[in-house]
Amino acid sequence: MRDARATRTPAPLRAYARATAVLSPFVAGIVAKRRLQRGKEDPERVRERRGEPTEERPHGRLVWLHGASVGEFLSIVPLVERLQARGVTVLVTTVTLSAARLAAKRLPPGAIHQFMPWDVPAYVDRFLNHWEPDLAIFAESELWPNMIMRTTARGTPLIQVNGRMSERSFRGWQRVPRSIGALLSRFELCLMQTVDDARRVEALGAPRVSTTGNLKFDVPAPEAEPNAAMALAKAISYRPVFLAASTHEGEDEIVLEAHRMMAPRLTNLLTIIAPRHPERGEAIAALAEQDGLQAVRRSEGALPAIRHAVYVADTLGEMGLFYRAAPVAFLGGSLIRHGGQNPIEPAKLGAAIVHGPNVANFAAVYAALSEAGGAVAVRDSQSLAEVTLSLLTDKAERQRQRDAAAEAVAALGGALDRTLAAIEPYFLSLAMRQG
């Protein structure tokens, strides 16, 4: 029988479904080719983006978790582990290639990884026909219309966890109130990070909303491979070290300028630049060399020698190593209009945190850090150099800031337990149905 909610599907969503169906040959051909050429797809697994599985579905209950990119994926790993302990198979999907590579390292044994199919009706149906999830859980702000509508039309409960709705996105969705209301009404639960996030999705039409906190606070600090840590520590020796983490295009020049300002005051200063997208490593090394700073790249298997002023950390899954190596870390995506990057990992690993003014993506986290005195905001290369120099030369102030950040982050934990408590009734329902 046709799902009664389908009769209330607004015209824009119906038009979107028709358009994506018509464009499927274009997506499968030209779009896929371009993304492969740009290194944004795995040629061995691009078929998964068309909903074609590369793994068999195990028998029994299967819960599907989706986290689009690295940050979303990392936030759901503890949830994957808890769900597996309940005796269910967990399927995890991601969108980005970097998240898929990290999944190969971080997912617990028994969990299955696939790429999220493109939001084309035929691809979505192919994916759902094969995996037949008993429960679907989407992290943060993934709102793909075909996937949402076709998953719930099958009677599969859909839950949003670690949800967020920025003020900018809220204003955008207000232009199409019936469409966003129709999508949000399909969610059994929207478990949001903050009260503001909850208020926004409720105003847009989500019928069942709770504030459970940010799962990223409950993610264990990333590990560092012992041999790699020893080798890097030996290479760095007693040099002062500054880390620019998760930088985006347009920020590396600012970091390099700050390095040049600090270098006369800090003998043998080493700046580590860990770009958000590691494929930019070659370009960053070239920028440094153009500025007269010798650089070396980790992706080439190198360690920094004393002659190197810049170490480009263009690898995946090693931020635990670099946060441990650097006493001060600038968090990127914040000196450009991106919205900032997650400061939780450096806070847990003892790096003093510096960031730019644009941190809307993690506003609540940075507000808590600021109130506790656990992070410092800068606006340009001059202020970045001044603050970093002060922290690198004032051990007592650096330790005070690190302690304040660690305490602030610890106080914000507990989202994992609250999330599990909220979705517990759905597991009881699954157990009763499969008795």
Domain holding 259: CATH number? 3.40.50.2000
Task: Give the distance, in angstroms, between the CA of residue 52 and the centroid of all CA atoms in the same chain.
Answer: 25
How much is the pLDDT for 418? 97
pLDDT band with cut points at 50, 70 and 90 for residue 32: confident
Residues 243 and 375 in one domain: yes
Rounded to an integer, what distance in angstroms lies between the CA atom of residue 256 and that of residue 117?
39
Tell which residue, 153, 71, 67, has the closest CA to residue 116.
67
Give the per-residue pLDDT at 40: 87
139 and 41 co-located in one domain: yes
Q: Is 386 part of the annotated catalytic residue set? A: no
Instruction: For residue 4, name the pLDDT band (cuts at 50, 70, 90).
Output: very low
Annotated catalytic residue, options 41, 52, 56, 72: 72
Amino acid at 75: S
The DSSP bridge pattern shows strands 209-211 and 241-247 to be: unpaired
In a domain, 221, yes or no: no
DSSP letters of 227-248? HHHHHHHHHHTT--EEEEEEE-
* Structural domain includes residue 220: no
For the whole model, what pTM was predicted? 0.83
The number of angstroms, rounded, from the C-alpha of 227 to the middle of its chain's C-alpha atoms is: 27
Give the pLDDT confidence of 221-264 residue by residue, as tens digits: 989 999 999 999 999 999 999 999 999 999 999 999 999 999 99
Determine the pLDDT at residue 429.
80
Token readout for 45 is 């697994």
The verdict on 263 and 173 lying in the same domain is no
The answer to whether residues 320 and 430 belong to one domain is: no
Say whether both 119 and 232 belong to one domain: no
In whole numbers, what is the pLDDT of the chain averaged over residues? 94
Q: In terms of domains, do 301 and 426 share one?
A: no
Q: Which position has the token pair 């943060």?
A: 140
Q: What percent of the chain has pLDDT over 90?
A: 86
Same domain as 424, residue 341: no
Q: Which CATH number fits the domain that encloses residue 188?
A: 3.40.50.11720
